[in-house]
Amino acid sequence: MARPSSNLTMFHEDFAKAKHIAIITGAGVSAESGVPTFRGQGGYWRKWQAQDLATPEAFSRDPSLVWEFYHYRREVMRSKMPNPAHLAIAECESRLSKQGRSVVIITQNIDELHHRAGSKHVYEIHGSLFKTRCISCGEVKANHKSPICPALEGKGEPDPSSKDARIPVEHLPRCDRRGCNGLLRPHVVWFGETLDSDILTAVEQELEKCDLCLVVGTSSVVYPAAMFAPQVAGRGVPVAEFNMECTPATMRFKYHFEGPCGVTLPPALERHESEAI
């Protein structure tokens, strides 16, 4: 199997011909904005790793602790900004839409940085830190309050010596739908949960019609997203990977551009002479 190319001129030729571009993004894009990934060595909040807290069982057992963790993550995001990779994707989407071409972003990230960068056509397959879901009535709602409820103000300090807040469940975020008042949970896909079938179906339709696919800042090990780009490559569509290192899927792709996405992606997506005005 031939090694993927890192020839930007060749990539631009495929880019110029593409009518519908799918961009799959993962934690590596957000990491360049300073967003903690909670993966690998040092990926702890207090003494916990994300997989210890991001489960339905953990929330059922200790909703106060889980909400402290997510409150901390929400507050951290208030100081983080989209980086050049997010901005390049948003600019590309806007520019190509004026040429009758389309860009769709399929992200595993829950931080909404693509939206803040200006992207419009975004599928958040793992949900969002800034949406809640009521465990009683099921209502999903955007929520950008800071703090999300009074009892969580000043809570969520990640230091291992920090004491758990032990907030009574009635003081945790509650549903404001008339007559409900159910306990809210973060609208994110936790370990052991399945992805939203409607979103997955929509994503599959986007991937079936794309004629160029970019994989940006993702390790290609988290399923089902890990199979998206290989499936596209399997039907002969060019796939370009932008990542800090090779991944298990790299050899299936036509292109591989190594380095920080904020450095490698902008020159790949910028306007060039072959584009229509």
User: Using CA atoms, how far apart are residues 101 and 126, in angstroms rounded to an integer?
Assistant: 26
Q: What's the total number of domains in the chain? A: 2
Selected catalytic residue, list 12, 71, 115, 126: 126
User: Using CA atoms, how far apart are residues 57 and 43, in angstroms rounded to an integer?
Assistant: 21
pLDDT value at residue 1: 60
pLDDT value at residue 220: 75
CATH number at residue 28: 3.40.50.1220
pLDDT value at residue 154: 95
Structure confidence by residue, pLDDT tens digits, 63-78:
999 999 999 999 999 9
Write out the binding residues for Zn(2+). 134, 137, 175, 180
Q: What is the pTM of this model?
A: 0.94
Active site residue 126: yes
pLDDT value at residue 143: 97
Give Cβ neighbours of residue 99 (< 8 Å, ≥ 6 apart). 275, 276
My answer on whether 86 and 31 are in the same domain is yes
Write out the binding residues for substrate. 70, 73
Domain-ending residue, one of 188, 217, 241: 188
Write out the binding residues for NAD(+). 26-45, 108-111, 217-219, 243-245, 261
My answer on whether 93 and 225 are in the same domain is yes
Task: List b or e across 135-158, with b for residues whose CB sees 16 or more CB atoms inside 10 angstroms.
Answer: eeeeeeeebeeeebbebbeebbee
Structure confidence by residue, pLDDT tens digits, 27-56:
999 999 999 876 655 678 999 988 899 999
Domain-ending residue, one of 165, 188, 211: 188
CATH number at residue 132: 3.30.1600.10
Question: Mean pLDDT of residues grouped by 10 in the chain (277 residues)?
Answer: 89 96 95 80 81 95 98 95 98 96 96 98 97 98 97 95 95 97 97 94 97 92 83 96 92 96 96 71
